[in-house]
C-alpha cells in the first residue's frame, strides 16, 4: 500500500523556520521524482519545489527561491523541505507528491506563519 506521510508543520512567526518531512512507503522511492506543493485557502494548489530521483537536480518556485531547500534521503525513503525566512504568505497546507508512471499524494501538513 502506497503511503506518503508529511510531518513537521505548525505555527511559526514570520522570519522563522520549519522543516517538513515526507516519509514514503509502498513503492520504489529512489525511482521517483519528488515534489512539494502547497495550497492556501481560496487558492489553487501550486508547485513549490521538485527534486530528481537521485537528488542531483532541484527546482523552485520563484516565490521561495533562496528561502526553501528540498532534499531527499533515498536510504530513508524521505524527502524534506527546509523553509527559512518564512512569510505570512507561505501559510498553506503543504503536500508531497511522488511522480513517475503513477503519481501519489500525501495528506498534507498545515503551515501557518503569523505576522
* Per-residue pLDDT at 101: 87
What are the start-end ranges of the E strands in 1-114? 3-7, 10-13, 18-25, 33-39, 46-51, 58-60, 68-73, 78-83, 92-99, 103-105, 109-114
* Per-residue pLDDT at 40: 97
Nearest to 16 by CA among 79, 86, 107, 74: 86
**4 or 102: which carries more pLDDT confidence?**
4
pLDDT interval class at 98 (50, 70, 90): very high
pLDDT interval class at 105 (50, 70, 90): very high
Distances (CA, A) of 1 to 35, 107, 109: 20, 15, 20
Mean pLDDT of the chain: 97
In this predicted structure, the answer to whether residue 113 has a pLDDT above a threshold of 90 is yes
Amino acid at each position: 500500500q502506497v503511503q506518503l506521510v508529511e510531518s513537521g508543520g505548525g505555527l511559526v512567526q514570520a522570519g522563522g523556520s520549519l522543516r517538513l518531512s515526507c516519509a514514503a512507503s509502498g513503492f520504489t522511492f529512489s525511482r521517483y521524482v519528488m515534489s512539494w506543493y502547497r495550497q492556501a485557502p481560496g487558492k489553487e494548489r501550486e508547485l513549490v519545489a521538485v527534486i530528481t530521483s537521485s537528488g542531483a537536480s532541484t527546482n523552485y518556485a520563484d516565490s521561495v527561491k533562496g528561502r526553501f531547500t528540498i532534499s531527499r534521503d533515498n536510504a530513508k525513503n524521505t524527502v524534506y523541505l527546509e523553509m527559512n525566512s518564512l512569510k505570512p504568505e507561505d501559510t498553506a497546507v503543504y503536500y508531497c507528491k511522488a511522480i513517475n508512471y503513477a503519481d501519489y499524494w500525501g495528506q498534507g501538513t498545515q503551515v501557518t506563519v503569523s505576522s
